[in-house]
Structure 1
Amino acid sequence: MRPIPVREEIDFQGHKIRSYHFQTNSNKPPILFFHATGYSALTYQTLFDEWIQAGYSVHSIDFLSHGESSKSDDFSNWWPFRNQVLALKQKLSQESSMPPVLVGHSLGGANSLLAAAKDSNVTGVVALDPVVLGPITSYLTLFVKTPLAKIATNRRTTFKSLDIVRRSYRKSPAFKNFNDQVFEDYLTSCFVKNSDDSYSLALPREIEAKLFQTLTPGHWWQYRKIKVPVFAYITQNSDVCPLRSAKRLASKNKHSIYKVHESGSHFFPMEDCSDRCFELY
């Protein structure tokens, strides 16, 4: 039987952040997981299932405006998302003194790194194709609207049924190689049912666009502060974390490493669910 999470809420700057808890009786460090933009914690439950079976407790959140969390565009950069990572860590520190492993994909990977730079009381960080652009590229985002922001602005958000979403999205390059269970978990956790029985994306498209556009330069100043082991796991020819960035992330601690997934897909965590990236720790 598939594990069922305990759902709780975290008060965060006047908003409600949904948290999910899969608890095991284990002496292994707990895993705190953070998702990518446009997805949800439970999109990754197939990964969680693997980790739970291996004896890890797994805890996660839906970032602000995602999944079951409150909707708000009250942010102008990514620091509030780093602070949500720290809020979950703080909540769990009251229950366990064991430093957790921070694991994150894309947006979640970048903010796991930023959180570790702020609070080093973690076992390590596993960053799955994190959004860690080079310093010059990050600076250019101040002046050029990112293509992903434009795509988000024009995204269709409401459908008559989930079956229509299922058929339409499976044809998209972004979703066509998703593990079947991951894809179903995405549908059930990232869409909400409306009063007329239609379905809408849980993340409003204008907030998604703002998230893509508010990546600001200056994060490298924070990444240089990281003292804990980092596993930078990027994909081949990554658009969001070039190889040079991964190497720099892995240069700050003798136990840090980087690895390149050969698929070339930013979505390899949703496609290759048997890859137990946490085993570094």
Structure 2
Amino acid sequence: MCPKPERTSRDAPLIVFSHANGFAAGTYATLFARWRAAGFEVQAIERFGHDPRYPVTSNWPHLSRQLAEFIEQQGRGPAWLVGHSLGGYLSLLTALRQPQLARGVVLLDSPVLDGWRARAVQLAKATGWIGELSPAKVSRRRRERWASVAEKLHHFESKPAFARWDPQVLADYVATASVGDDGSQQLGFERAVETAIYNTLPHQLGRLARRRPPQCPVAFIGGSISKEVEQVGLSATRRIARGRMSRVEGSHLFPMERPVVAADAVLAAIATMGADPAPV
């Protein structure tokens, strides 16, 4: 899908994007530019979990409230809610709890837990084992500080997972860092917050969607080799998305690996759900 010339008018359709855990919204700048060029306004919370008014707790009720209030602050009515991983779950939670805020939801590799898998996560949370079973096992030991931008960039470029990333997206991710008093480069997303989010994964989302089906259309776009999809399965997601399912070449982090393809897949999904950006 070829993007249209950029449109900045307040009457342009609105995408509210929510990022994956550990990756601030600035990481997705390439996708945002593609959507803006196609005629959408794009807004995003830069970092979930870092505002003390919205603490990280089990099932993420305060993070969902943060997203809902952010959408309301735009003063635009219902928006297209697009989210990657954590962001997809928050988008769906918000659409289920406050349907008046969502025109449609696009889940980027956010497969919905339900059934025995959801009960297993609930048990792991209750017993404290979730930290050994989730990505929190890695995030709690993640390196937090580098002497320079160049050192930080080299660190991530040497990691196999990051080696698959688009160079511009990796540069944008590195640029989300905060700077220490000594001039050092720090993680743009606090590892303690990232770990807490993993350890409080919602286990009730599938059940909630059964009891209160979404009132807006939902679409799912997954990575072709996503381990997260393999672990969770797609039965609940298929039920919620009602056939609006597609896959993009790549892993769970396909928006970072193939940002233009991912951005265009979102535009295609929105088009099938009824978006009609005003002509420029």
TM-score for both structures, normalised by structure 2: 0.81
Is the CA contact (8 Å cut-off) linking 2:107 and 2:219 kept in structure 1?
yes
Q: Quick one: which amino acid aligns to residue 188 of structure 2? A: A
Correspondence 1:202 to 2:188? yes
1:23 Cα deviation after fit: 7.4
TM-superposed deviation, 1:154: 1.2
Q: Which amino acid aligns with 1:75?
A: T
CA distance, structure 1, for counterparts of residue 232 and residue 153 of structure 2:
37
Equivalent residue letter for 1:112: S
1:177 positional shift? 1.5
Distance 1:70 1:62 in 2: 14
State the superposition RMSD in angstroms.
Answer: 2.5
Encode CA deviations 1:211-230: one digit per residue, 9 max, x unaligned.
11111321112223212111
Deviation at 1:201, TM superposition (A): 1.1
Structure 1 residues 62 and 150: alpha-carbon distance in aligned structure 2, compared to 1, 3 A threshold: same
Alignment-derived partner of residue 162 in structure 1: 149
Higher RCO, Cα 8 Å, sep 6+: 2
Is the contact made by 1:65 and 1:204 (CA closer than 8 Å) also made in structure 2?
Answer: no
Residue range with higher mean Cα deviation, 191-200 or 30-39: 191-200
2:274 corresponds to which residue?
none
1:226 aligns with 2:214: yes
Alignment of 1:1-281 (within 5 A): 24-25=8-9, 27-65=11-49, 74-92=56-74, 94=75, 96-97=76-77, 99-121=78-100, 122-130=102-110, 132-141=112-121, 142-143=123-124, 144=129, 145-189=132-176, 191-224=177-210, 225-242=213-230, 245-252=233-240, 257-263=244-250, 265-275=251-261, 276=264, 277-281=266-270
Matched length: 252
The structure whose residues are more often strand, as a share, is 1
Of the structure 1 ranges 123-132 and 237-246, higher mean CA displacement relative to structure 2 is found in 237-246
Which runs of no fewer than 5 residues in structure 2 stay unpaired? Answer: 1-5, 271-280
Which residue type is aligned with residue 50 of structure 1?
R
Distance 1:27 1:247 in 2: 37
Q: Which amino acid aligns with 2:28?
A: Y
Looking at secondary structure, tell me which structure has more helix per residue. 2
- Render the CA deviation track for 1:42-86: whole Å, top value 9, x for unaligned: 1101000000111100010023345xx569855333222211221
CA-CA distance at 1:160 after TM superposition: 1.1
Q: Percent identity?
A: 29
Deviates more, 1:135-144 or 1:149-158: 135-144
Cα distance in 1 between the residues matched to 2:53 and 2:155: 26
Partner of 2:158: helix, strand, or coil? coil
Residues 260 and 57 of structure 1: is their aligned pair in 2 closer, same or farther, counting only changes over 3 Å?
A: same
* 1:195, distance to aligned residue in structure 2 (A): 1.2
2: distance between equivalents of 1:252 and 1:139? 19
Letter in 1 for 2:152: V
Say whether the 8 Å CA contact 2:114–2:205 is kept in structure 1.
Answer: no
> By how many angstroms is 1:31 displaced?
0.3
Could you tell me which amino acid in structure 2 is paired with residue 116 of structure 1? A
Which consecutive residues of structure 1, in runs of 5 or more, have no partner in the other structure?
A: 1-21
How far residue 257 of structure 1 moved from its aligned partner, in angstroms, is 0.2
Assess if the C-alpha contact under 8 Å between 2:93 and 2:205 holds in 1: yes
The one-letter code matched in structure 1 to 2:69 is A
User: Retained in 2: the 8 A contact 1:223–1:249?
Assistant: no
* TM-aligned CA distance change 1:102 to 1:214, over 3 Å: same
